[in-house]
Amino acid sequence: MRMSRFPLRHFTGTLSDVIIDAQLIGLESALNWSGAQLGREDSEPRIQPRTEPRALQSQQQDNGCTKTMSYTVEAGAVKFGDGPHSHAVLRLKKRGRDIAVTLQLRTYATEGLLLLAPGSKAKPKHYIAVMLRDGKLRLVIRGRKRKEIALNTFVSDGTWRSLSIRYASGRAHVKCGGETGAGRGGRAHVAPRLYVGGLPPYSDTSDYTLPNNIVRVGGFVGCVRRVTVGGRAEDLVRDSRTHHHVGQCFPNIEPAAYFSGDAYASLRHTWGAGSGSDSVTELRLQFRTSEPNGVLFAGGDFLLEIKDATVVLSRGGEEEAGLGVRVQGGAALCDGSWHAVRAWLHARPALALDGAPRVDGPAPALLDIDDSAPQTPTDYYIGGWPEGVMESAEGGKNFKGCIRDVSIGGHKRDWNKMDTLHNVLLDSCPVQQ
């Protein structure tokens, strides 16, 4: 008996991670294409609206705080950029001059070095690099001639993007989402290694030469997953000797720094807290937390913290003695929503919360004012303190949550320009799905 034919409909969607006999098949190496292309079908950026400070209706505990959520991590994804010289190293074929790399990336950063194949010992000035400039990907090939291929797709929106790079016989192809770029340049002779996410210290890169326009870009800040080299799946953290200052990734994030309760950032600053109007330093920041206590800022004899779900600014740690000011919002400030705080660090401290009117602290006694005190640089801390500093102060539990938009003295402070970042996860504020 002959079976009747069933009508077959073509598959519509996206396929990834095709494995046959335990071998990952790199689709970028296909011989021909028909009605298909590399990249995800939904290649348009899905920009999440920025959550502004507001009240949040959620499950609360007896103290008014939102129940602390536990966050999972993204399996197989590696975070770069949270420490100096953050990078991983992969091996390329020693005798092969062709390079085929695929990966997925997620970032909010607009600048950074994503991939680098440095020049060989015979050609130390040659290299192949992939970098972010103004939120767009660029492939740069430096051989006998220099060739640059720039894509127009903006990728620094916090969504996962598929990237494919292929270089063979002096010709390069790069593809991200639905956009493709190609070009031909001189053949580049590169060493059998590939740096991912950044570069090691200079002492480890002295056998090749990189131009300043590559070095000053800095490392990549973001997550990378599903890396293949020559069709072979790669584990970026399999060997601890091949990676440095990398971490894990949360599945869903928004652009803010995450402090896990043992983290802090520090920067040196010149303070003036006398009685004159020109000695006032204004501090602004936004925070989101589910904890009732935590240090937001400390420095110049000032302490800004969340204490019992309210914001407290004190001088010399003496809020209880009447030298500080306390501001309470309409709801507990540990409700898991964003809150904006504005503090005036002055002999008479002042606070404003979530756009509400400014609240001034008590006027200082004459003996408390010292206009002759020299203005010298001192350390200030965001999100917590080093262990030795905490021992000399009362309370001062490190902050657990997210902080963004830090401004001191009218100048916005970039996390990457802090003097110290201790366990701070940049652009990694976890959110629930």
CATH, residue 223? 2.60.120.200
CA distance 398 to 304: 12
pLDDT score for 253: 94
pLDDT score for 375: 56
pLDDT score for 389: 66
| 240 and 118, same domain (yes or no) | yes
Assigned domain for 161 exists: yes
pLDDT score for 102: 95
Under 8 Å between Cβ of 134 and 110 = yes
| 122 and 266, same domain (yes or no) | no
pLDDT score for 225: 95
Number of domains in the chain: 2
Give residue 395's domain range.
257-363+375-430
pLDDT score for 281: 82
pLDDT score for 59: 43
Assigned domain for 63 exists: no
**Residue ending a domain, choose from 247, 281, 315:** 247
| 327 and 229, same domain (yes or no) | no
pLDDT score for 51: 57
How high is the mean pLDDT in each 10-residue block of the chain (433 residues)? 53 69 56 64 49 44 67 90 92 78 96 92 89 95 89 95 91 91 85 92 67 84 94 85 90 94 86 48 93 90 88 70 59 87 86 88 59 60 81 70 93 90 94 79
pLDDT score for 123: 87
pLDDT score for 56: 33
| 394 and 304, same domain (yes or no) | yes
